[in-house]
Amino acid sequence: MTISMKLDGAWLRAAAFATVLSVPALLAGSAVAEDYPSPDETLDWTIAFGPGGGNDIMARTIIDILNKYDLYPGDISAENRAGGSGAVGWGYLFGQAGNAYGISTTSGSFVTTPLQADTPWQPEDFTPVALLATDDLVLVVNGSSEIQNIEEFIAMAKESPVNIGGTGTVNVDFIVPTLFAQRAGFEFDYVSFNSMADQTTALLSDALDAMVGNPGEILGLIDSGELRPLVFSGQSTPAALEGVPTMGDLGYDIGVSMPRGLILTPGAPKEAQEWWIATMQQVVETPEWDEYIEKNTLTPTVLYGEEFREFLASTKSGFSEVLRSVGAID
């Protein structure tokens, strides 16, 4: 298998509901609320990938909820700091160690990038706030492709290696088709992109045979017929992809999901971590968050604080084993 990399060179209900959203008032007398956050400090929110991708969508959904319900008292500055499969953005956050006002969302690359690149940080280095959801990927081809289903795709790939695009280098977008190809018995070349927009353009221009992506990022193109979904990597097919088989349905279950969460800088103050945990407990109870989960075909999987750190360490260990088994890392 070969891996082609396209990097940029630089290196994430109504009375009862109203009660739930009253935590700032409930916390008003606590030291946490008095000391953090300051309305005079701008929150520096790093999005480690380009606009329109899953990490970007999640970050901006949380920010919209924070703003709608006045959960954060100051200004929020969201910046896309893409490059190096997340290494640029999370490296920037790592460089703000101890800052209470640096924050970022995570994705599968948060775990896999340090496994295959010489980053100064590891997932466990950051201050964990919450694991909020996990998600899975769909393999799609151009809607104009002669390939109508996954069986035809596998048959074509067995005749001659295909190329499959994904966001990032050696990450979940790479692991999922790699394991699927191993089980189904075909070979492919992986082509890495820094953004979903770039890889979608490549597929629609027939520069790729197929690509993987989070369904929520490309449902519009699937619904319009511009992209044709072939197979889903999760345990069950979401309603939005009705009729699309899972890899397990075909006998090729891979057992890999992508963690989506929220982190602060390394060594962030304890009161900042506590405040964000309390606040995210409110965010996940909003109807807007429910809508986000459903629209993006995510599985709500919530862990807070140190339990999230343990989850990251365990996930890193599992991903490392998979990548070593396919020779992607030493």
Q: What type of residue sits at position 257?
A: S
Per-residue pLDDT at 78 = 98
Per-residue pLDDT at 130 = 98
Per-residue pLDDT at 17 = 33
Structure tokens that stand for 313 in this block: 């360490």
Residue 158's CB is within 10 A of a number of other CB atoms, namely: 14
* Residues 6 or more apart whose Cβ sits within 8 Å of residue 205: none
* 195-232: b (≥16 Cβ within 10 Å) or e: bbebbbebbbeeebbbbbbbbbbbbebbeeebbbbbbb
Domains (range + CATH), the chain: 43-133+260-325 (3.40.190.150), 138-241 (3.40.190.10)
Q: Judge residue 114's burial from the number of C-beta atoms within 10 Å of its C-beta, 0-12 exposed, 13-18 middle, 19 or more buried.
A: buried
Structure tokens that stand for 282 in this block: 């409110």
| Sign, Cα dihedral of 14, 19, 22, 25 | positive
Which residue, 56, 54, 15, 65, is CA-closest to 280?
A: 65
Q: Give CA torsion, residues 269, 114, 296, 143, to 10 deg.
A: 160
Per-residue pLDDT at 169 = 75
DSSP state of 246: B
Secondary element (H or E) of residue 128: strand 127-135
For the chain of 330 residues, list the mean pLDDT of each consecutive stretch of 10: 41 32 36 74 97 93 98 97 95 98 94 90 96 92 98 98 89 88 95 93 98 91 98 88 95 86 98 98 97 86 94 85 80
Per-residue pLDDT at 54 = 87
pTM, rounded to two decimals: 0.69
